[in-house]
Amino acid sequence: MLNIENSFFLQHWEIVVISVSIVYFILKLRDNQKSSAVETNQQQVNDEETIDNDAKDGEVDTGDDELSPSLEVVNHIPYRGASVVLKGGVDEFYNMVNNRRSIRMISNKPVDIEIVKKCIHAAGTSPSGAHTEPWTFCLIKSADVKKQIREIIEAEEYMNYKQRMSKQWTADLKPLRTNHIKEYLTEAPYLILVFKQAFGFKANGERKTHYYNEISTSIAVGILLSALQSAGLSSLTTTPLNCGPALRSLLNRPQNEKLLVLLPVGYPTDNCEVPDLKRKGLDEIMEIY
């Protein structure tokens, strides 16, 4: 067989060349069609993406307690509803969160670490799919670790600004006065790196699916931001471009954790400015049925 084939190919090399070209162009075409839907960082996020997709495709209740085959179920107890509320009700809460702004100019004025810890503790009251509590908050106070984090992020950001992003993107960013230099990463008294846990482990060591780990952890971040504001602290919600694996490795986090967001925490500098942005009105974000 092999001899016959070889002789065919040798005798009729023109056809071989044409066929190979056809294969090449078909493959190229298909690659282009698919590339937009396929991950580029495949090896790194494979586990997580599979699980995220599971959760997205099949949607389920994500109360504090639902849907976990591995959840140890306990007694049910009466609950009479929210009893600890704000004196000024939701008006007080609205005024508080509406006063929050993301800042990029953070001073090195010290912050009581106990306050930041309490904010993280508050974030941990968030609901999660099947009560898996799929989050890890890494609180960075070490100047040396902050320095290393800044080096990792600035090196990546330099490439983002200089090479990876389009000129249009870079130009459009200019008025926002951002660049690859992130002083706040070493100036801010604390950084909080929030990791989502793509999966966990049962008591018997088996792998446990963390349904909706991204939604759950993001909800916890919303509570964290409100907590920081309640304490008079400011922050900035960032998702450092392409830095997840290097930061995970720096902090020696396990494979099931993936960086979701990084927040510097502190007080604004004396000359801090923010863009004069407006928020959408209620009628622009709400529909009543």
| Site membership for a second copy, residue 227 (CB under 8 A) | yes
How far, in Å, CA of 202 to CA of 85, rounded? 35
Closest CB to a second copy among 33 and 205? Answer: 33
Distance from C-alpha of 14 to C-alpha of 286, rounded to nearest angstrom: 65
CA 214 – CA 273 distance, rounded (Å): 31
Q: Between helices 213-230 and 42-57, what is the axis angle to 10°?
A: 90
Instruction: By CB under 8 A, tell whether 69 contacts a second copy.
Output: yes
Name every residue whose Cβ is closer than 8 Å to that of residue 173 and which is 6 or more positions away in sequence.
Answer: 161
Number of residues interacting with a second copy: please give it, by CB under 8 A.
157
Tell me if 126 sits within 8 A of 216, measured CB to CB: yes
- Give the residue with the Cβ less far from a second copy, 81 or 205: 81
How is residue 240 annotated by DSSP?
-
Residues 2-21 that bind a second copy (CB under 8 A): 5, 8-9, 12, 14-16, 18-19
Binding mask 236-275 for a second copy (x = CB under 8 A): xxxxxxxxx------x-------xxx-----xx--xxxxx
**Using the rule CB under 8 A, which residue among 90, 203, 204, 254 binds a second copy?**
90
As a residue count, the chain comes to 289
Q: How far is CA 126 from CA 120, 132, 222, 258, in A?
A: 11, 11, 9, 18
Quote the least distance from Cβ 213 to a second copy, whole Å: 11
Question: Applying CB under 8 A, which of residues 6, 28, 41, 202 lies at the interface with a second copy?
Answer: 41
User: Under rule CB under 8 A, which residues in 149-208 are in contact with a second copy?
Assistant: 160, 164, 168-169, 172-173, 175-178
Residue 94 lies near a second copy (rule: CB under 8 A): yes
